[in-house]
Amino acid sequence: MIACFDIGGSAIKAAYAETPEQVVTLSREATPLQSFDEFVSVMGKAIHALPQKPTRAAVSITGVIDPDTQRITCANIPCIDDRRLSADLAERLGLPVLIANDADCFALAEAGLGAGRGHRIVLGAIFGTGIGGGLVVDGHLINAHGGFAGEWGHGPAVALRAGNPPVEIPHFDCGCGQRGCVDSVGAARGMERLHKLLHDVSLTSAEITSRWVEGDADAGRTIDVLVDLVSSPLALTINITGATIVPVGGGLSNVPALIETIDRTVRTRTLRRFERPLVVPGELRIEPGLIGAALLGLQAEGDTR
């Protein structure tokens, strides 16, 4: 049995799994942000509530694990930031602990049980508060031991002119410390930034997409520019990785017309031509983080055996 956790800045969600298809959800508790003791206590309480002692814990979490030092960078949860989190939790909880980034776990879940079934190379893409991604090859997560593979949302890759007709787009500052990242224009806040730049009107991403679907011209212009800006970096990432399917998660994936528009544009820019949808909404709409954590833990259990 694997104890599974999906941990973000707001909540720690717990579950357990004995097979990939049977993930039983348990508790949901507020994430302690300042006290590591309280953070461990929430996880420990969930483990003690399991029907039997698990062989290991597997965690989907916001933040990135450095593959060299095994330290986590997680600004959202200060009490774990810069810790060797896997080792620290294993010592406190008394069992092995595997940790992966939440976008990686989304990709692993979609590759195993969702839209990526049957594909050798799956690139999971997150379009939400931020732009993220994860890469799965032959059913295994490339970042199983930490790392940044699949993180196509960061790096100075955004064009300075976009849309039809083209308009000048400055390189905006990104939260990662760079300028001109896909995240700065393609995520929900990026969409809002583009709309303000183009029309001098402040709207939420939900308002922009809703107006676009209803036929609003200004919202349509914003979406046109956004799709142009994100499609080339995503197509390049597909070329480099060889991915044959790109399941999408995050809040913006709940706008099917947006994902369909991105898909059509991306397929005109990839080296390999696809006659079928390539960028598609993820199929696992409920708890993909917990499912990905379960798969991560169960794979490790199988490798150990």
Summarised one tens digit per residue, pLDDT across range 237-296 is 999 999 999 999 999 999 999 999 999 999 999 999 999 999 999 999 889 999 999 999
35, pLDDT greater than 90: yes
What pLDDT is recorded for position 124? 97
**CB–CB of 103/119 below 8 Å?**
no
Give the pLDDT confidence score for residue 145 in this predicted structure: 86
Tokens of 52: 């039997």
Asked if 45 and 163 sit in the same domain, the reply is: no
Q: Which residue has 């989190």 as its token pair? A: 85
Percent above pLDDT 70 for the chain:
99
What is the spatial distance between Cα 98 and Cα 82, in angstroms, rounded to a whole number? 16
Fill in the amino acid letter for 145.
H
* Domain identity same for 91 and 17: yes
Report whether 135 contacts 128 (CB < 8 A).
Answer: no
Q: How many percent of the chain have pLDDT more than 90?
A: 88
Buried residues in 216-231 as b, exposed as e (16+ CB within 10 A): eeebebbbbbbbbbbb
Q: How far apart are CA 38 and CA 79, in angstroms?
A: 9
User: Is 34 found in the same domain as 20?
Assistant: yes
Mean pLDDT of the chain: 94
User: What is the domain extent for residue 295?
Assistant: 2-105+286-304
Q: Are residues 196 and 230 in the same domain?
A: yes
Q: What is the pLDDT, as a whole number, of residue 303? A: 55
Domain identity same for 183 and 245: yes
**Which tokens go with 118?**
């049957």
- Within a domain: 264: yes
Residues 123 and 259 in one domain: yes
**186 and 228 housed in the same domain:** yes
pTM of the model: 0.93
Contact 134, 282 (CB under 8 A): no
Residue 112 domain flag: no
Domain membership of residue 90 (yes or no) is yes
- Same domain? 241 vs 123: yes
> 20 falls in which pLDDT band (50, 70, 90)?
confident
pLDDT per residue over 105-120, tens digit each? 999 999 999 999 999 9
3-state helix, strand, coil split of the chain in percent (to 5) is 40, 25, 40
Please give the average per-residue pLDDT across 6-26, as a whole number.
92
Q: Specify whether 264 is located in the same domain as 143.
A: yes
Same domain, 90 and 143: no
The separation between CA 287 and the C-alpha centre of its own chain, rounded to angstroms, equals 12
pLDDT at 304 over 70: no
- Report helix, strand or coil for 204: coil
Three-state secondary-structure class, residue 210: helix
How many structural domains comprise the chain? 2
Query: CA-to-CA distance for 252 and 29, rounded, in angstroms?
Result: 25
Asked whether the beta carbons of 183 and 150 are under 8 A apart, the reply is: no
81 is a domain residue: yes
The pLDDT tens digits for 73-96 are 998 899 999 999 999 999 999 999
For residues 95 and 214, state if they share a domain.
no
Phi, psi torsion values for 185, nearest 5 degrees: -130, -20
Q: Strand 161-162 to strand 140-141: parallel, antiparallel, or no bridges (unpaired)? A: unpaired
* Residue 72 covered by a domain: yes
Q: Is residue 41 part of a domain?
A: yes
